[in-house]
Chains A and B, each alone.
Chain A
Amino acid sequence: MIEPLIKIAILIGGLMTGAAYFVLLERRMAAWVQDRVGPNRVGFPLSQFVSGLKDLRLFGLGQPAADGVKFILKEEYTPAHVDKRLFVLAPISILVAALVTFAVIPFGDVLPGGVFGDEPIEMVVSPGAGVGMLVVFALSSIAVYGVILGGWASNNKYSFLGGLRSSAQLIAYELPLGLGILGVILATGSLDIGEIIGEQARTGWWFALTQPLGFFVFCVASFAEAARLPFDLPECEQELIGGYHTEYSGIKLLLFLVAEFLHMIAASFLIVMLFLGGWHFWFLTGSGSEATWFQAIMRLVVLNAKIFLVILFFMLVRWSWPRFRFDQLMAFAWKVMMPLGLINFVVVAILDQLKIVSGNDSSGMNLVCALAAWGICIGAWVAISIAGPLVADNRPRRELNSFEIDSQM
């Protein structure tokens, strides 16, 4: 009873603080990309407490605290013509969904018993959840409600359209997300995230190496699910002013933004754990389920380092690439990502069956299968590059064929 409570406290405290500091990291990363210096002045305001001292400029580390205080103290008004109950419900539901996702995602491996308890302590809030991956899907489906209700309750035509577009994007990219994961689940035989990491550790082959197409599809889909660039359309200012959170201010807006960052953090957790090996690194951490204290600490360090690098990648992508137009976005999901996901699943199933039929599970067989998977991935890439613009082209055409006029069924 006490142990999950402590884990939950560590998780929520760490996540909320982390989300705040990742905003600062993103602004610094944006400044680095744009060849300027980010926020580096807000530190500890000593002059407020003791007169005569100058403020400490701690490289801008006080910026998130200042932002948080600003959001909390800002005048928070509810516009007169909004649907008040749904207006308040929308940010709550999206933040709850984003936070509960972390109940099934491990943030380390196992702490060996002896110090804190008699048995090894698993560093996940709900250990042994047999359907862990599916719970993540369920919660990302609930997050769609917050977006729709936020747009609808604002009683504002642009917010409504932004909410519809945003939710359509989220629903469309849930499908490639699932298809990318299916290969991993097939290779593991379980939906439990801890077991998936264990399988990668056992064979030593990360799933990004043996299923590159699935890795690509899952990465792109998780960018879209987190509504980060290049799938940024719902919230960029040039398009629909603020999208579904135009009418929000104060703490409700803070909840929306924090939920978006938590989605990004959850997406990077999943990418690392499902495809990049989790806490496994070839010679540093052991690959067994038993771990010494040194290995347990190394696993924690390796996992967090990988997640940090993936988050840096997310932020770098945001400031590097232009964004998709909405119809390009949807065409990309349905006409490019879904076929690629299906091809990946079929290839993984065939290779897995080959391994079972030949009875060969050695490293050589894994190498052959990985090479085959990479070959098919490159082939699929070439095919999509040729065929993609043909099917995903939505430019208005000038010529009128007869089937366009007579297309009433």
Chain B
Amino acid sequence: MNEASLLHNYLVVGSLLFGIGLIGFLVRRNMIVMFLCAEMMLQGISLSAIAFGRYHNDWGGQMLVIFIIAVAAAEAGIALALILMVFHKSGTLDMAFWQDLREGGHPAFIDHRVPEEQAEDRVWPTLTPAGIEPEVNEDEQLHRSKV
């Protein structure tokens, strides 16, 4: 297992991570998952950088990865802040909601075929919205003892 084939193994894994992240970024519509796939692409690049650093006996690979991690952290902070604000404005995390800046004359993207929820798509754990009063039965309220 000489050095070149070792490097090749790591490069293949790094490119696989990058490719899978690329597919995920272009295919998913949830903003947060898209951002997660962007982070995955950065991981693939980090792996390739470290592999090259070891192959050429250079510290540059690891330096680059340190800066990638730091900048990715900063980017994640700002991106999540933006996503939160966008969520407050639109009420959804769907990327297809924001189409106003598309090219002139281009038709809007509309979901033609939304598959209905199947039995296996359960209701995820959620917070019940605050401020909603529970339904009360008037007769029962009358006869309840005051606690």
List chain A positions with a Cβ less than 8 A from chain B: 81-83, 152-155, 157, 160
Contacts and interface: CB of A to CB of B under 8 A. Distances in A.
Contacts of A160: 125, 127
Interface string B73-102: 000000000000000000000000000000
B118 interface: no
Contacts of A153: 125
B124 A157 contact: no
A244 B1 CA distance: 49
Interface string B119-131: 0000011111000
Nearest to A87: B125
A165 B128 CA distance: 18
Contacts of B124: 83
Q: Classify the secondary structure of A's interface with B.
A: loop
Contacts of A81: 125
Interface size class for chain B? under 10
13 contacts: A81-B125, A82-B125, A83-B124, A83-B125, A152-B125, A153-B125, A154-B125, A155-B125, A155-B126, A157-B127, A157-B128, A160-B125, A160-B127
A155 B122 CA distance: 12
A150 to B, nearest CB: 12
The 9 A-B pairs at the shortest CB distance, nearest first, are namely A155-B125, A83-B125, A157-B127, A152-B125, A157-B128, A160-B127, A153-B125, A83-B124, A160-B125
A157 B128 CA distance: 7
Contacts of B125: 81-83, 152-155, 160
Given A154-B125, A155-B126, A157-B128, 10 more contacts: A81-B125, A82-B125, A83-B124, A83-B125, A152-B125, A153-B125, A155-B125, A157-B127, A160-B125, A160-B127
Contacts of B126: 155
A93 B33 CA distance: 23
B92 to A, nearest CB: 20
Contacts of B127: 157, 160
A81 B127 CA distance: 13
Q: Which of A82, A152, A154, A155 has the most CB of B within 10 A?
A: A155
Contacts of A155: 125-126
Nearest to B128: A157
A149 to B, nearest CB: 11
Interface in B93-147: 124-128
B111 to A, nearest CB: 27
B40 to A, nearest CB: 18
Contacts of B128: 157
Nearest to A86: B125
B2 to A, nearest CB: 27
Nearest to B124: A83
B91 to A, nearest CB: 20
Nearest to A151: B125
B129 to A, nearest CB: 10
A248 to B, nearest CB: 15
A149 B126 CA distance: 13
A153 B124 CA distance: 9
A380 B124 CA distance: 49
Nearest to B125: A155
B140 to A, nearest CB: 24
B124 to A, nearest CB: 7
A155 B128 CA distance: 10
Nearest to B127: A157
Contacts of A83: 124-125
A91 to B, nearest CB: 17
A153 B126 CA distance: 10
A160 B127 CA distance: 8
Nearest to A159: B125
A29 B128 CA distance: 42
B60 to A, nearest CB: 21
A83 B125 CA distance: 7
B116 to A, nearest CB: 21
Contacts of A157: 127-128
A354 B37 CA distance: 48
